[in-house]
Amino acid sequence: MQITKRERIFDGHFKVNQLTLQTADGEQLQREQFAPGHAVAALVFDTAKQHYLVTKQFRPGPERALLELAAGMIDEGEDPETALRRELHEELGYETDQLTHIATIWPSPGTSAESIAVYYAEVSRQTGPGGGLASEHESLEILPYTREQLAQEAFEDAKTLVAVQWWKLNK
């Protein structure tokens, strides 16, 4: 399959493209593509306090609050690690000591152009309040988890499941 045309059909808080695809036999197909940008996320371990940090916040998709990794969008021209360090400070208030890349995933490749670079992060110095940025209308709760709590939690968020599964296999 080949993309022969791409048109932005919605350009609001989120973006939607309409793609014209040509199949191997020459047929033309129209498909909409959700194009929110690219994101970063991390399973965060506070080495000083010996606990993991998970966020809880309202999400429009499921229409309720979810437990998930600290995460955010990569700004134009920003590399994933710089974006993640910024997001960990905004959401959790921590400076990052060490990052380990777990995987870059496509959560819904049939409809979305979003990828998420998932990391394991170690932190030890909280230098800010966290909780997200008021200017971005973020309001999140920071929850500390012990090793046992993290292993037993029934997470529903895909990026969180990927990171926790990696952690179970590697830590």
Q: Which residues are annotated as a binding site for Mg(2+)?
A: 71, 87, 91, 138
| CA terminus-to-terminus distance, the chain | 41
Q: What is the DSSP string of 121-134?
A: EEEEEE-S--S--G
Say which residue the tokens 């296999």 belong to. 169
Binding-site residues = 71, 87, 91, 138
CA geometry: angle at 60 spanning 56 and 61, to 5°?
100
Distance, in Å, from the CA atom of 118 to the CA atom of 127, rounded to the nearest integer, reads 23
